[in-house]
Structure formats: structure tokens, C-alpha cells
Structure 1
């Protein structure tokens, strides 16, 4: 039966004593394996020993909660960025990679495509202008 650093030899507190020993050796992984995150305590230990164990548990739980919040935030930011990227891709059709040839041998730079409503309005305006300028 492990003895606690505080001198307690209570057999009911063996798990708590092992956790306290792991914490004293700065072996946090071992302390977690032994049950640091669970509600393990020894009533035979002195108050300062029990409070150190409780404080270590609370600090670790707080750190784990902060890590979980950070991961959730990162995932949320990545989802938002992916959604913005998708919206940008659907908002503008892919422009031709090279400019268009006007038939004169001169290549004009590619223009960004208009949204469909704007393209329809432009087509109507051009048709109206062409009607006005007919001989």
C-alpha cells in the first residue's frame, strides 16, 4: 500500500496517494491515468494534501475545457472560411484563363463575368440602343 507524501497510510486512500505521488514527481500523464480527473480523495490525508489534489484536478479540468473551447473555435473559423470560399466561387463564374481574340489578332484581357441579372439588363439596353440607331 503506497504511503502518501503527507504521511497518511489509510488503505482507502491508496488511489489518491498514488495520484499525489505522481503529481509530486511531475508526472501529469501518470496522475491522469490513475484518476486525477475523477473525484478521488482520501479522508485520512491532511487538509493541505487534499487541497493540493483538488487544486490539481481543477487546474487540469480548466485547462482541458480551455483546450476544447479553442478546438471548437478553430473548427468554427474553418467552417466559416470554407463557407466564404464556396460563396466566392459560386458568386463569380470562372473567368477564361486567356484573353479573347477580337478577330484583329489582338488579344484583349479577360473581363470578369457579370452576374446574370446585370448581364440581362445590359443585353436589353444594347438591344434598345440598336433599335434606336437603325437606319
Structure 2
């Protein structure tokens, strides 16, 4: 078998899988892929620990795990707008660097006003931008 048919078959399989990627679709046509994301940036700062996760559900609601606490909230706006209903969190103690990151993260989520997905990067926009890549948070 030559390489060309093998490459063509692999490309067709990848395109078929990409077409099946679940997304939330707004009336404005903004596609936001559902699934797990890992926080890589908050404002102008990077998050090298990759210890904050976010999952976007098919109904647009979010859930995730910060450095210390899990969280969940309903998304009450239609993309590309973003607004959360009341957020529920677990109540584990969180101090030091992890506590500061988690506090800043939850505050940025609560103040967010927009959401975009471009070039494989999810951005939740607001006074403090949150930048995510698809994937799972690093477990401690």
C-alpha cells in the first residue's frame, strides 16, 4: 500500500471526528466546543501549574476544579456573551499561592462578559481575561 491512500484515509478519519465535536451554538453562530479545558493564563500572567480546570457542558453551564475547590454555575447569556448565575463551590480551605490564584480566578469568572474560541484557544473575557487550552487540569 502506498503512502497516499494511507494519508488520505487518516485525513478523512480526522475530519470525521472533528465534525462530531460537540459545541454550544448561539443564535449569532458563535461555536464554543464543549468539554474539558485547562487554565493557562489569567490576565497577563501564565498559570504554569495547570491546576485549574473548566468543563463546558452541552447546555452551556460550567463546572470545574480550582487549586482547592470544585465549582459549578449556569451560563445565563448566549455566546459570545458570557454571564454566570450563582456559583456553587466546595468549601475547602485554600491558602498561600493556591488560595490567591483561586480567589482571583473565581472573581474573574464572576465578572466575565464574553467567551470566544479561536485557534484552539478558549478565552473568557472581562476585566481579567481567562485563557484556556483544551485538556484536563493537572492533578496534585
Fold-level similarity (TM above 0.5): no
Tell which has more relative contact order, 1 or 2 (C-alpha 8 A, sep 6+): 2
**TM-score with structure 1 length normalisation?**
0.23
Could you state the TM-score of these two structures normalised by the residue count of structure 2?
Answer: 0.22
Where is the helix percentage greater, Structure 1 or Structure 2? 1
